[in-house]
Homo-oligomer: A and B are copies of this chain.
Amino acid sequence: MSHRIAVIAGDGIGTEVIPEGLRALKAVAERFDIALEFQTFDFGSCDYYLEHGKMLPDDWFEQLKDFDALFYGAVGWPEKVPDHISLWGSLLQFRRRFDQYINLRPCKLMPGIKGPLAGRKPGDIDFYVVRENTEGEYSSVGGKMFEGTEREVVIQDTIMTRTGVDRVLKYAFELAATRPRKKLTSATKSNGISITMPYWDERVEAMAAGYPEIAVDKFHIDILTANFVLHPDWFDVVVGSNLFGDILSDLGPACTGTIGIAPSANINPEGNFPSLFEPVHGSAPDIAGKGIANPIGQIWSGAMMLEHLGHQEAADTLVKAIEAVLESGDAQLLTPDIGGKGTTQSLGRAIAEHI
């Protein structure tokens, strides 16, 4: 039985790192005798938009819904298409329509990567951010009144449902339960945002009652971002709303120096629709076409995909291959962003060969 993977390279360096992601996946699939079948799509990119006037064909949902996973590069190229069109027309559609209600990102100090924090070494920082990925602050409900006048007022709703909140919390508690420290931190702002955030706290408390073995704490988002910088070792699993999770899952990898190489998973845990795996980094128009983009985010995203598809050992092998190549410190292989003189391909090949 083979896993069917839809591959969408998207824009900019997405088209450069996807081939390296595939190379690594093929290597590890061969070693562990996993059958992967890839099919490539050209939509979900700004070039597609410029040609067709939309980011996706009308039947994208039908075309993609039966795949086992989506392997995405990066989308967006503001000079071609405004971000709110390219992103809402692709990535955010997938998340919403495929009900990928979990956005999962590891924040981990990796060997050979110089992070911005003083005195931290690999092993010191190793946590997950679990982000609600379908509702909350990203609602598109609202509008404008008295447009163009001094009285102009703009309103946008944050919408949380019990279904939406409980399911992400459940996922986060279950994840915490699999980890040695069994610790969960909730991101809130109930001291300032007085309706939705106290509700979030209430649901965290209700869910915690079912997980007595998990140590639960909460921080307001302002001091939580401060603690990511001051005490990143405190965290194990951090759960937040769509916006707070978005912020924390960039800040976390920034604190570990891995923002250019971090992976992310947009997960539909029930598996009734495909989940989507993509690097945290964007399409980076400034370095696109130069062949120097770091492919690790894409490859690491492939590892998360394998884990999701049930191949834990293969996933671990892929991550270890990344770590080994980073640890080698071989400047000929590494890309310039991590101090090397190599290319997207040299780094991708080195990781694939290590497998």
In A252-280, which residues have CB < 8 Å from any B CB? 253-255, 259
| A137 and B84 in contact, given A118-B118, A230-B116, A259-B230 (Cβ under 8 angstroms) | no
Q: Mark A127-169, 1 if CB is under 8 A from B, else 0.
A: 0000000000110101110000111111111111111000000
Check B226 against A137 for contact (C-beta < 8 Å): no
Check A142 against B195 for contact (C-beta < 8 Å): yes
* Smallest beta-carbon distance A283→chain B, Å: 12
Residue of B nearest to A227 (CB): B254
Check B84 against A191 for contact (C-beta < 8 Å): yes
Check A198 against B162 for contact (C-beta < 8 Å): no
Task: Return the contact of A193 from the options B115, B243, B254 (Cβ within 8 A).
Answer: B243
The segment from A45-53, A217-225, A286-294 found at the interface with B is A217-225
Task: Return the contact of A83 from the options B142, B154, B160, B191 (Cβ within 8 A).
Answer: B191
Give A250 to B225 CA distance when docked, in angstroms: 8
Q: Which residues of A contact B (CB under 8 A)?
A: 76, 83-84, 87-88, 92, 115-119, 137-138, 140, 142-144, 149-163, 189-196, 198-199, 221-223, 225-227, 229-230, 242-243, 246-247, 249-251, 253-255, 259
* Smallest beta-carbon distance A204→chain B, Å: 14
Check A140 against B194 for contact (C-beta < 8 Å): yes
* Supplied contacts A116-B230, A156-B193, A156-B196, 16 more A-B pairs, CB within 8 Å: A76-B191, A87-B191, A118-B119, A152-B161, A154-B160, A155-B195, A156-B157, A189-B243, A221-B246, A222-B246, A222-B251, A225-B247, A226-B251, A229-B229, A229-B251, A229-B255
Task: Return the contact of A194 from the options B84, B158, B229, B255 (Cβ within 8 A).
Answer: B84
Residue of B nearest to A189 (CB): B243
A161 contact set on B, CB distance < 8 A:
151-154
Residue of B nearest to A193 (CB): B137
Task: Return the contact of A230 from the options B151, B196, B254 (Cβ within 8 A).
Answer: B254
* Smallest beta-carbon distance A145→chain B, Å: 10
A191 contact set on B, CB distance < 8 A:
76, 83-84, 87
A259 contact set on B, CB distance < 8 A:
226, 230
Give A332 to B247 CA distance when docked, in angstroms: 40
Give A243 to B196 CA distance when docked, in angstroms: 14
22 A-B contacts (beta carbon < 8 Å): A84-B191, A84-B198, A88-B194, A115-B118, A116-B117, A138-B192, A138-B193, A138-B194, A140-B195, A142-B195, A144-B195, A150-B163, A151-B161, A153-B162, A155-B196, A156-B193, A156-B195, A189-B243, A223-B250, A225-B225, A225-B251, A229-B254
Residue of B nearest to A148 (CB): B162
Check B250 against A226 for contact (C-beta < 8 Å): yes
A190 contact set on B, CB distance < 8 A:
83-84
Task: Return the contact of A229 from the options B116, B189, B195 (Cβ within 8 A).
Answer: B116
Residue of B nearest to A257 (CB): B230
Give A191 to B155 CA distance when docked, in angstroms: 16
Check A158 against B159 for contact (C-beta < 8 Å): no
A253 contact set on B, CB distance < 8 A:
226
Give A90 to B119 CA distance when docked, in angstroms: 40
| A199 and B144 in contact, given A156-B157, A159-B154, A191-B83 (Cβ under 8 angstroms) | yes
Give A151 to B164 CA distance when docked, in angstroms: 10
* Smallest beta-carbon distance A146→chain B, Å: 8
